[in-house]
Structure 1
C-alpha cells in the first residue's frame, strides 16, 4: 500500500529571518530551514546522527510548514536498508551547517522514496542565507541549537545498527517530550511585574555644584544672566565650544525644577543638541553633558513621549545612544547607559512605537556592546543600567528577545559577573536569565 511522504519544515531563526532580513539585506527571507521527512508514521531527521521521533514532536518544536511530497511504493524495510547505507554520511561528526545538513538528508530520502528532490528554495536557502551578513549574525543561534541537541541526545546517532547488515533499528530521541509553554509563564509574568513595581522611575543626574558652574558660565558668557531662554538654547546648539560644557550642565540641572524649560528644550533644540554634540567632531565633555541633558529630560515622561512620537527624533536619540556605546571615554559610555536605561524604561511603559529599523539599530548596537570584554569592567551603576535596559528590551519585543539569543547574550561574561550589584538588581538578573533560555 502506498505511503504518503510529507516534509516538515522548521525555522531555525525562530522568526528573525522574516522579521529583519529585508531591513538588513534588502531581500525577504521567510526563514532558515530545518527539515524532517515524515513517512511510515515517523519523522526522520538529521540531528546528532539520523534520528527518528513522533511527527511534529521533535526537539525543533512545531513545523512552520508541512509539504506533501507524494506517495512512495517503497516498504519500511527498504527504507531501513537505505538509511543503513547512508548512515555513515550523516553521523554526529560529519554534520556541517552548510554542506551536510538536515536538508541534504531529507533531500536524499526524498530522492530514494519518490525520485524527486525537496523544494529548491528550502534545500538551498540555508547556504545562501548563512553566507550573508544576516546569516553570519544568526550562525551562533543555529550552532548553539545544534550543540544543545547533541548534548541532549549524545554524540552517537540514534539510528543504531541491528543484527542484520541490511536493516537498522531506531531509538526514539531521548527527552523529546512536548514542551509545555505554560512552564515559562510564571518567570515572564514575575519579571514584568517586578519591572512595573521596582523600576517605574527614571534615573536622574541631580548633583550640581551651582556656584562653580554659574561662575564659570558667567566668566565665559558675561551676559548669560540677562539672556532669554530662547537665546541660551540657541547658544547650547551653536555657541563657542568652551561655553558648551557649563551651559549644558546648568540646563540639565535647571530642567529638574523647571518643566517649562524642559518643554522648550524638547520643542526647540534637543534634537539639534544631540545631533551636533554626540558625534566624533564634538569634544567628549560636550558629549557627556548632552547625554546628561537627555537623561534628565526623562524627569517628564509626557514631554519626552511627545518628543519621541516623531520618527526623526527617535533616530537622533538612538544614534546618540549608539554613539555612546563605542566612545573611548568611559564616562561618556556610563552616561550613555544611564540615558539608555531611561529610554528603554519609557519605551516599555509608554505607547511609543519605534520603527523596525530604529529599534533594530538600538538593540543590535547595544547587544554588541554587552558582548565586548570592556562591558565586564563597568561600575555598579552602569552595570545596573545595562542589565535593566537589556531586560526592558527583551520583555518589550519578542523579536529583540530572539535577537539577544542569536547574539549569544545569555552566555556573555557580563551576565555572569553580578556579585558586585545590589540584591535588587541580582534578582532581575536571575529572572532575566530564566527568561532568555
Structure 2
C-alpha cells in the first residue's frame, strides 16, 4: 500500500524530444541561402507524434516509431534530435492531449507555410513543457509568410492537401503527394 501511495506522489518528468528531419531533395538548394525545409515530430513516452495533411476533417496527427526516417519517406533524413524539456503529464494525459489537438490540427487544415508540422510541434511542446521549438526550424515558412509573393512560386498542391485527381478512386494511393509533412 505504501509503495502505491509513494508512486502516486512521485512527479513524472518524461523527456520531450524534438526530432528534426531534412527533406534532402530540396534542402540541398535552400541551405545555401540559410534556409531549410524540415519535418519535425515530438517524441514523448517512446512515441513520436507528427502532423501532416490530407483532405479530410479528421486529425492530421499521426504516430511513428521515434527517429524512424524510413516511415516518413525515401528522401527524409534525420538531421538531429533536441531535448526540449520534460513534461509532468502522464502518458495517458499526453494521449488525451493529442486527441484534443487532433480537432485543431486536422488534415485539411494543413498548409506548408501557415500550419505545418513545425507549427504542430511548437504548439505541442509548449503544452507539454512550456517551451517552443527553436525558431530556425520554421524560419523559411515565417519568411515566406511575410513575403506573400514568394508563396505564389510554390506549386499549390505542395501548400495544402490536394483533392482527388480526375479518375482517382476514393482511398486510392495512386497519387504522388507533395511534401505535406
- Using structure 2 for the length normalisation, give the TM-score: 0.65
* Mapping 1:327-366, distance limit 5 Å: none
The answer to whether the aligner puts 1:59 opposite 2:59 as a matched pair is no
Deviation of residue 81 (structure 1)? 1.6
- Give the equivalent residue in structure 1 for 2:13: 2
- Give the equivalent residue in structure 2 for 1:38: 43
- Residues 19, 135 of structure 1: CA spacing in aligned structure 2 closer, same or farther, 3 A cutoff? farther
SS state at 2:155 partner: helix
- Give the equivalent residue in structure 1 for 2:136: 121
User: Between Structure 1 and Structure 2, which shows a larger proportion of strand residues?
Assistant: 2
- Residues 17, 116 of structure 1: CA spacing in aligned structure 2 closer, same or farther, 3 A cutoff? same
* Mapping 1:268-307, distance limit 5 Å: none
Match among 105, 108, 125 for residue 90 of structure 1: 105
CA contact (8 A) 2:114 2:141 kept: no
SS state at 1:64 partner: strand
CA contact (8 A) 1:47 1:92 kept: yes
Cα distance in 1 for residues equivalent to 2:130 and 2:27: 31
Deviation of residue 33 (structure 1)? 1.7
Determine which structure has more spread, i.e. the larger CA radius of gyration. Answer: 1
Deviation of residue 59 (structure 1)? 1.7
The answer to whether the aligner puts 1:50 opposite 2:61 as a matched pair is yes
CA contact (8 A) 1:21 1:134 kept: no
Match among 76, 81, 87 for residue 96 of structure 2: 81
Deviation of residue 17 (structure 1)? 3.6
- Residues 111, 144 of structure 1: CA spacing in aligned structure 2 closer, same or farther, 3 A cutoff? closer
Match among 113, 118, 122 for residue 107 of structure 1: 122
The answer to whether the aligner puts 1:11 opposite 2:22 as a matched pair is yes
Cα distance in 1 for residues equivalent to 2:157 and 2:127: 28
Deviation of residue 125 (structure 1)? 2.9
Greater RCO, CA 8 A, separation 6+: 2
CA RMSD of aligned residues (A): 3.3
Contiguous gaps of at least 5 residues in structure 2: 1-11, 54-59, 163-167, 173-177
Deviation of residue 63 (structure 1)? 1.6
User: Between Structure 1 and Structure 2, which shows a larger proportion of helix residues?
Assistant: 1
CA contact (8 A) 1:5 1:38 kept: yes
Cα distance in 2 for residues equivalent to 1:85 and 1:126: 25
Contiguous gaps of at least 5 residues in structure 1: 156-405, 407-437
- Residues 144, 128 of structure 1: CA spacing in aligned structure 2 closer, same or farther, 3 A cutoff? closer
What CA deviation, in whole Å up to 9, does each residue of 1:88-121 have, x standing for no partner?
Answer: 1111211122221111111111011111111112
User: Size of the alignment, in residue pairs?
Assistant: 144
- Residues 21, 2 of structure 1: CA spacing in aligned structure 2 closer, same or farther, 3 A cutoff? closer
Cα distance in 1 for residues equivalent to 2:34 and 2:111: 25
The answer to whether the aligner puts 1:28 opposite 2:34 as a matched pair is yes
